[in-house]
Chains A and B, each alone.
Chain A
């Protein structure tokens, strides 16, 4: 838009509210009539003589609270301006009327540029009011409904737009450097005063309009009489109320001093409602400098609209970072020295405006790592992506059932581990006399695990078949490491239960962790279970043995709550690799014609995850990823999505961090969604705030931390008020059952007995659990309660 035309747009927009507030009182009208004639007389009598319409005079009177002198003064000044404007308009013809209705980018400044002060045709006035600005402003909505994510994107988009806008005015500013400030000094005062939101809206990130403010404020000091009126002359209904009330407030005093008839003044304030909160938010507090001096209103050639014009069209989202932040971010992310120097320049200017907060931010010595976000719409990216179906499964079973060996075999057969490494493991294992553990070493990487031949912690590994990308979570079987197994099970879509078929082992396993693990995975929400009857070679592929195991286990699993259709059995041998990915060629096993283990795994259906929900990820591990990423966390995203550059909040510490980069299934990626196993390389946080079991979420939707919760649990053992350990994934905290609220009916959930003293195994009971420390938990979450090394209950947080 051309600058010198806008500057002539009326500074006062007061005429816009003439339409609805007529002075109905006959007394007032009479008085007004008197004043009008007086003004007209003075205008005519004055030098040079000026003419004005009655309406104009009455308007002016209204604004000056029937102060005749001031009205005369004002009208005189206006006529002079109009004369000047007329000459100009000869050179630049007024654009065709009516102005095109607001298109994509409605700018009030554009709309009014051809309208000199008070000469807005009356039929157009009404039109302005019809055109609603609110949606464009985007002020009413607050945060968009679908969480902070979109709003953030919107805010970043706005930041970009602003940056572009920043360049354009600065260029035009340099071309016509000082015309506006020289001609309209008073207008500058307005933007230089109290930094209300409105001002920040106008000034944010735009160094150019601010540049003249230094002198402006100086001038204000010199001429206190022109103390600014905080009301921007916005050509819209929303600004009307505050301006009127303030005007009426301040003017009233002036008028009363002038001993005018009080009646009209009294009615005016009652007609006007006080500014709404909304309006005062937009325009700034009504308590700002109110001592408006009428004198400054003389300058009719204000170009406030030029200053504010752009902002009318800028949507501003309050849920998003403040404009200052947005701009700072944008500046930081913009590359190159040029923008940096611009940023520092603007920072200097800002300091000049005593914007200390910004100054401090700018000066911050902290070595912040900033990561440029690609602002991807992760969910649509995810839908576009053509990844293979992925499935996580946990391998469970009694200790020494051969879980790790079976999985090592699976990985070796699928080529996820090369032969050379395998040979090395075999050599090393034989060296310490544990040759049969060589395959397990693929997953048992810990030195202690290898030395003892026992899996201690969960291990994750990936392999792919033609159809599906699998993630194995190998869980420890030893009862002491059930907490680790719970962590593993919480990452799983389905489970593989490994059973040692050799005589004696199966029986002891059934009493031991076979049972506990199966109950645990079921209570953690796992529906499908594949039972691998392992070590079949030790019983010579005895069909009867297999069927006996199948019968017992399926009976048990059914009572545990698995559906028959979701249970399948595969006889196999992990050490030999029979029926894992290839069919056995042992003649004893010819009776088995069903699927091999890998085929059984592939029957799993794809699992859906809560992509749209707020981000939740339980930290599984905190470690040093390498030189490039000094701090990394791993885990599985439970809900929501994540991308590079995101700010995340760690609960319960409440510290924020930035995602530098991320890996999905050990492959670098720009984004990740729920259900994926990720490694986040993060920055801007002290590792002391990170523990495994903490929850990663977004600052906009943090997970609550609680010290007490009610849960509906299924008792595995006797429950009474007692000390328990609360497990949820990696989270492991001590707590106590403080109350057995009621035992419940399994089917209906109705209370059977209130406050039972003790409940036995198999009873569903509502318990109140208290913890010493605040823990990030939210309903509905599956929790496991353990005591004395055994699982006593599992259930759902309410």
Chain B
């Protein structure tokens, strides 16, 4: 995402103009835009006019609409963001107060304005929003590191795109592969068919050009992680090799980027194991998700030790922060960014305040994990928030009726 114009005031109100450039930017926009924000973007609206005679004519007109956001709808698979709200600027074709759903598009600027109301009812550009804006506007431009992971087991494959901030399950392939039987060759046949379908789907999803003649030959190929328990992944690799050497020579370009790793199962929740494997770490060193995964593993390790130096759950973490346990010298607050996406302003304020306190007052480290990553999903299971503590904290027996 490119930042075209930045006019954020010190009090936290102001507007930025952004230009999304790649699909993942939509995810950033999804995190930035909140209900009650003001969004200006170009739109195509169908306008129906009624003549005096009663005949109607409808036309599609391009408009620049300003809406007050009511709702966000994000489709991670296709990376599309639909923002609906009420129109607040007047145009020849629309009235104020009419509803419109803006579809943000790549390479089209949009302006996002956040305001702090007189009574402080809005949240404005708080520290979290500024941070996600920084994440979104990546100056270095070195963020293209992403990988494709095929997590598979017999008869089941998940094709995932691992991006910097999100893991998108692009396609699930499920086939019934006959088990081995006395004297039956169905199993091998079934596996071959399964590999065939998986490869076809993978190529389609990657938009990989298999023709040799096209000029796209020197285009960089993303690393493809083949993960499975047992020998399915290596079998798949062999299958791709044999395909490359026989029917589709274009696949040869893909071969060097294939990495076979071990995973416990063919489901996406074993992705964390995939990302932790040394082969993948070497390949994707120091990417955000690798750090996130590491952090979650550290946390769980600490939790397993039962030293009371790790805690999770909203109330428990708040209590620990109150006790000053998430401070300098190893205190880490781990928050899922889903918490900031809350529709409830008070809820968001609560978490922003907690983050600010840990960072600014206590001096602890704050890590915001993407809920669309594997590690974020693990964190979600723990209530979306967890903390590594500097000293053991034993909570008073919190009533279990809280949640």
Q: Are A737 and B381 in contact (CB under 8 A)?
A: yes
Q: With A480-B230, A757-B311, A789-B264 known to touch, is A447 a contact of B181 (CB < 8 Å)?
A: no
Residue B90, interface by CB 8 Å: no
Complex Cα distance, B311 from A452, in Å, reads 45
**A788 CA / B262 CA spacing, docked (Å):** 11
- Taking a contact as CB atoms under 8 Å apart, the answer to whether B265 and A734 are in contact is yes
Q: Is A755 an interface residue (CB 8 A)?
A: yes
What is the CA–CA distance of A688 and B378 in the complex, to the nearest angstrom? Answer: 32
| Stretch with Cβ within 8 A of A (4 or more), from B54-62, B63-71, B268-276, B345-353 | B268-276
- Nearest-Cβ distance from residue A301 to partner chain B, whole angstroms: 67
Task: Please measure, in the bound complex, the distance between the C-alpha atom of A425 and the C-alpha atom of B271, giving whole angstroms.
Answer: 39
Interface contact B230-A718, CB-CB below 8 Å: no
B381 and A758 contact, CB distance less than 8 A: no
Give Cα A478 to B306, complex, Å: 31
* Contact present for A687 and B176 (CB under 8 Å): yes
Cα of A648 to Cα of B176 in the assembled complex, Å: 20
Q: Mark B186-197, 1 if CB is under 8 A from A, else 0.
A: 111000000000
Give Cα A609–Cα B337 distance, bound, in whole angstroms.
52
Q: What 0/1 pattern do residues 1 to 35 of B give for CB contact below 8 A with A?
A: 00000000000000000000000000000000000
Is A622 close to B, CB under 8 A? Answer: yes
A178 CB, nearest partner CB in chain B, Å = 60
Q: How far is the CA of A458 from the CA of B268 in the complex (A)?
A: 25
Are A738 and B176 within 8 A (Cβ)? Answer: no
- Whether a CB of chain B sits under 8 angstroms from the CB of A177 is no
Q: Write the nearest CB–CB distance from B295 to chain A, whole angstroms.
A: 16
Give CA–CA (A734, B203) in the complex, Å.
26
Inter-chain CA distance A306–B265, complex, in Å, is 69
- Quick one: which of B85-108 are within 8 Å of A by CB? none
A720 contacts B303, CB within 8 Å? yes
Interface 1/0 per residue, A444-466 and B, CB below 8 Å: 01111100100011110100000
For A725, give its contact among B176, B265, B378, B400 (CB under 8 Å).
B265
A contact residues around B311 at 8 Å (CB) = 757
A623 to B182, CA, bound (A): 12
| Assembled-state Cα–Cα distance A461/B400 (Å) | 52
Determine whether B250 belongs to the interface, using a CB cutoff of 8 Å to chain A: no
When distances are taken between beta carbons in the complex, the residues of chain B under 8 Å from A448 are 188, 231, 235
The 8 A CB mask of A615-654 against B (1 = contact, 0 = none) is 0000011111000000000000000000000000000000
Asked if A621 and B303 sit within 8 Å, CB to CB, the answer is no
In the bound assembly, the distance between CA atoms of A723 and B269 in angstroms comes to 7
For A689-727 the 0/1 string (1 means CB < 8 A from B) is 011100000000000000000000000001011110100
Q: Which B residues are in CB contact (< 8 Å) with A790? A: 264
A788-B273 contact, Cβ under 8 Å, with A457-B180, A621-B181: yes
Q: A445-B181, A692-B176 are in contact. Are A480 and B381 (CB under 8 A)?
A: no
Is A46 on the interface with B (CB-CB < 8 A)? Answer: no
B-side interface mostly: mixed
Residue A185 at the B interface, CB < 8 A? no
Mark each residue of chain B from 167 to 193: 1 if its CB lies under 8 Å from any CB of chain A, else 0: 000000010101111111011100000
Residue-by-residue, is A472-508 near B (CB-CB < 8 Å gives 1, otherwise 0)? Answer: 0000001011010000000000000000000000000
Q: A593-622, CB under 8 A of B: which get 1 and which 0?
A: 000000000000000000000000000111
Q: Which residue of A lies closest to B400 (CB)?
A: A755
B residues within 8 A CB of A622?
A: 176, 178
Q: Is the CB of B229 closer than 8 A to any CB of chain A?
A: yes
**Residues in chain A near residue B249, CB distance under 8 A:** none
Which of B183, B300, B381 has the largest number of chain A CB atoms within 10 A?
B381
**What's the Cα separation between A447 and B235 when bound, in Å?**
12
Most buried by B among A687, A690, A691, A723: A723
Closest to B228 in A: A480
Contact indicator B180/A718 (Cβ below 8 Å) = no
Are A720 and B176 in contact, CB atoms less than 8 angstroms apart? no
Interface centre among B269, B382, B400 (most CB of A within 10 A): B269
Query: In the assembled complex, how far is the CB of residue A767 from the closest CB belonging to chain B, in whole angstroms?
Result: 12
Given A452-B231, A624-B178, A757-B316, A447-B377 contact (CB < 8 Å): no
Which residue of B has the minimal Cβ distance to A722? B381
A718 to B307, CA, bound (A): 13
CA of A458 to CA of B181, assembled, Å: 9
Q: Tell whether A760 is near chain B: CB-to-CB under 8 Å.
A: yes
Complex-state Cα separation, A690 to B231, whole angstroms: 24
B304 at the interface (CB under 8 A from A): yes
A732 and B265 contacting across the interface, CB-CB below 8 Å? yes
Query: What distance in Å separates the Cβ of A719 from its nearest Cβ neighbour in chain B?
Result: 10
B267 within 8 A of A: yes
Q: Which residues of B contact A788 (CB under 8 A)?
A: 264, 270, 273
CA distance A446 to B181 in the complex (A): 8
| CB-defined contacts of A718 to chain B, threshold 8 Å | 303-304
- Asked if residues A734 and B304 are in contact (CB atoms below 8 Å), the reply is no
- Find A623's partner among B174, B179, B183, B273 (CB 8 Å cutoff): B179
Q: Closest approach, in angstroms, between the C-beta of A334 and any C-beta of chain B?
A: 36
The answer for the CA separation of A623 and B184 in the assembled complex, in Å, is: 10
A768 to chain B, nearest CB (A): 12
Contact A445 B229 (CB under 8 A): no
Interface check B383, CB cutoff 8 A: yes
B178-A734 in contact (CB<8A): no
* Alpha-carbon distance A790/B265, docked complex (angstroms): 11
Report the minimum CB–CB distance from A143 to chain B (whole Å): 34
Q: Which residues of B contact A755 (CB under 8 A)?
A: 400
Q: Which A residues lie within 8 Å of B377 (CB)?
A: 723
Q: Is A229 an interface residue (CB 8 A)?
A: no
Q: Which B residue sits closest to A718, measured CB to CB?
A: B304
B267 surroundings in chain A (CB, below 8 A): 725, 734
Please report the C-alpha to C-alpha distance between residue A620 and residue B383 in the assembled complex, in whole angstroms.
37
In the complex, the answer to whether A758 meets B187 with C-beta atoms within 8 Å is no
Is B312 part of the binding interface, using a Cβ–Cβ cutoff of 8 Å?
Answer: yes
Listed residue (A458, A461, A734) with the most chain B CB atoms within 10 angstroms of its CB: A734
B303 pairs with A480, CB closer than 8 A: no
Instruction: Give Cα distance in the complex from A760 to B304, angstroms.
Output: 8
Closest to B189 in A: A624
Contact with A along B228-251 (1 / 0, CB 8 A): 011100010000000000000000
Residue from B183, B262, B306 within 8 A of A445 (CB atoms):
B183
Cβ contacts under 8 Å, B378 to chain A: 722-723
Q: Does residue A234 face the partner (Cβ distance < 8 Å to B)?
A: no
Closest to B180 in A: A446
Q: Residue A786 contacts which of B176, B180, B231, B264 (CB distance < 8 angstroms)?
A: B264
Question: At the interface, yes or no: A345 with Cβ under 8 Å from chain B?
Answer: no
Q: Does A754 contact B (CB under 8 A)?
A: yes
Question: Among residues 740 to 798 in chain A, which have CB atoms less than 8 Å away from a CB atom of chain B?
Answer: 754-755, 757-758, 760, 786-790
Write the nearest CB–CB distance from A520 to chain B, whole angstroms.
Answer: 15
A697→B129 CA distance, assembly (Å) = 54
- A240 part of interface (Cβ distance < 8 Å): no
A624→B187 CA distance, assembly (Å):
11
> Does A736 interact with chain B (Cβ within 8 Å)?
yes
Taking a contact as CB atoms closer than 8 A, the residue among A449, A480, A721 that contacts B229 in the complex is A480
User: In whole angstroms, what is the CA distance A624 to B306 when docked?
Assistant: 52
Residue of B nearest to A694 (CB): B176
List A residues 186-241 near B (Cβ within 8 Å). Answer: none
Pick the contact of A481 from B179, B230, B268 — CB < 8 Å?
B230
Closest to B235 in A: A448
Which B residues are closer than 8 A to A by beta carbons? 174, 176, 178-184, 186-188, 229-231, 235, 262-265, 267-270, 273, 300, 303-304, 306, 311-313, 316, 377-378, 381-383, 400
A-B contact pairs, 7 of them (CB 8 A): A452-B231, A481-B230, A624-B178, A691-B176, A723-B381, A754-B400, A758-B303
Q: Which residues of A contact B (CB under 8 A)?
A: 445-449, 452, 456-459, 461, 478, 480-481, 483, 620-624, 687-688, 690-692, 718, 720-723, 725, 732, 734, 736-738, 754-755, 757-758, 760, 786-790
- Beyond known contacts A456-B180, A718-B304, A721-B381: 13 more, CB 8 A cutoff: A456-B231, A478-B230, A481-B230, A620-B179, A623-B186, A691-B176, A718-B303, A723-B377, A725-B264, A725-B267, A734-B268, A737-B381, A787-B264
The 5 closest A-B pairs by CB, nearest first: A789-B264, A480-B229, A623-B178, A723-B269, A734-B267
